[in-house]
Amino acid sequence: MSRQFDIIIVGAGASGLMAGIHAARAGAHVLILEHMDKAAKKILVTGNGKCNFTNEKQGIAYYHGKNPAFVLPALRQFGVSETLQFFEELGIYPKKKWDAYYYPASGQASSIAQSLLLECKRLNVRIACNIGIREIKQTAKGFSFHTKQGDFFSNCCIIATGGKAAKKTGSDGSGFLYIEKLGHKLTDIVPALVQLQGKQLFLKEIAGIRADGKVSIYIEKEKIAEDAGELQLTEFGISGIPTFQVSRYASFALSKGKHVFAMLDFLPELTVEETRDLMRKRFLCFAEGKNAAQALLGLFPDKLNAVLLKEAQIPIRKPAGECSPEDLARLAGKAKALRIDVTGTKGFDYAQVSAGGVDTSEVNPMTMESRLAPGLYFAGEVLDVDGMCGGYNLQWAWSSGYVAGKEAASCCTAGIHNERSLHDILERGE
């Protein structure tokens, strides 16, 4: 294998492969260094193996970080329509679900991974796995990479190592060590799109329940975020997409030692007063001969009914008609706001992404190039950008990878570091 390249990309995940493809399409000689035994491992587990690879709804409301607007220039250059066209050209037939979510028609994340790898092969993008990077240095001619497989050199470098989520797939945070040594600052990094742990004992009693509802996150008594959908209740806490969507706020607060709690609303379509009216009807008008548990039958899952009654201090066998207005008010309150004191998250190993990363104030959003080190580019989750659940993090990978690859190739072509690319000079023996 050649040791000299126009561009070396660190990380063979979604953003790294996208960067490599578009750099090669622009004429650059590209090598991708991957520390795992094979490329695209994290892609294979996205969307529970089905790979929700983009979402029709876009905008800064769907992305987070210290500066969410950082994503806009990249999304304008390579957005949803460009993503769909790109993958269709690679053979992926997109299938839209829930009016906005796009999956490969095969229903297999491996289809996305294989299509990217086949395109890399067609373009002669080299991928070196089990590389074992020991050091990355910026030199007068570009960048040098000291690895267990020897030294490599390039004009430009794209770091696309991901964050800290899903260590088994390669996102173990190792890329951040190189980034700091290259002079860049990192924001706080915490698990995101992750389950939350709670301390309430009743969680064991409702483990396994799935119920529609809304979860609201409070930090020191102030409501910070909320989301609605199918809640999943577990013996350790809460899960499901709504929990994932608000988990980043809990993660950051917990990392700073702040008190965090969640309120679960199992009737988000009703006001508190409407919920009280509902309980009065079920217990006082339509519950002749029924006990308290039977009066709730059909409204919530049985195990949840039992917990709500217990938390409202109503014996489950108490005749429904004997429940006082105060009893029913407490029950309505628990149905609208069941408190879970959040003690932690399930951590990076269970998180879909990490929040935080390279400080975007030090990166040009139009090019993904470092403002501190010319020729150094970033793509994907390594940056302080995290998207909501629903294909947003992959869209960011495609968009930022496209921009970084295209711009790095342009840098080499223009000879920013040299009048000609390092590869061309060496090939000619000059």
Which residues lie across from 120 on neighbouring strands?
none
Residue 168 to residue 187: CA distance in whole angstroms: 23
**Alpha-helix runs per DSSP H in 26-79:** 41-45, 72-77
Q: What is the pLDDT of residue 423?
A: 42
Residue 316 to residue 423: CA distance in whole angstroms: 77
Q: What is the pLDDT of residue 420?
A: 37
Task: Using alpha carbons, select from 337, 216, 336, 211 the residue that is nearest to residue 267.
Answer: 336
Q: What is the pLDDT of residue 415?
A: 60
Alpha carbon distances (Å) from 174 to 185, 324, 379, 395:
15, 60, 15, 23
Q: Write the pLDDT tens digit of every residue in 4-31.
A: 999 999 999 999 999 999 999 999 999 9
- The answer to whether residues 182 and 401 touch, using CB atoms and an 8 Å cutoff, is no
Q: How many CB atoms lie within 10 A of CB 271?
A: 12
Strand 30-33, strand 4-10: pairing: parallel
Q: What is the pLDDT of residue 1?
A: 65
Q: Write the pLDDT tens digit of every residue in 332-354.
A: 999 999 999 999 999 999 999 99
Q: What is the pLDDT of residue 413?
A: 72
- DSSP type of residue 388: P
Which segments of the chain have a pLDDT < 70? 1, 415-430
Domain parsing of the chain, residue ranges: 4-187+357-427, 195-346
Strand 30-33, strand 126-128: pairing: parallel
CA diameter of the chain: 96
Which residues lie across from 378 on neighbouring strands?
159
Task: Using alpha carbons, select from 45, 78, 310 the residue that is nearest to residue 170.
Answer: 45
Domain 4-187+357-427 = CATH 3.50.50.60: yes
Tell me the three state secondary structure of residue 398: helix
